[in-house]
Amino acid sequence: MNELKERLLKVEDSYYDFVSAILYYAEKKDSRCKAIIDFLDNNPNALSADIVKFVSLQDDFYEDAAFMNAV
């Protein structure tokens, strides 16, 4: 997880909420962390929006969602 954090901090347009959100997603499963690191390896010039898009397209992205009931 430390490797991922350091890599996210080095993203050209990195910012606190971006790093926090990606780390929160990645800490749930080792496979998530590995997938993001692999993405960064294959896309060294990726910006925060590219990484957020990659994460949001993952099959398990909505596993952690908190849905609201309509009243």
What is the average pLDDT value for the chain, to the nearest integer?
93
- Over the range 27-52, which residues count as b (16 or more CB within 10 Å of their CB) and which as e? eeeeebbebbeeebeeeeebebeebe
pLDDT reported for residue 36: 98
First to last CA, the chain: 39
Q: Which residue has the tokens 């080792």?
A: 30
Measure Cα distances from 53 to 9, 68, 69, 70 in Å: 17, 23, 26, 27
State how far the Cα of 71 lies from the Cα of 54, in Å rounded to an integer: 33
pLDDT tens column, 20-45: 999 999 999 999 999 999 999 999 99
Q: What is the pLDDT of residue 68?
A: 67
Domain boundaries, the chain: 2-64
What is the average pLDDT across 59-67? 79
pTM, to two decimals: 0.87
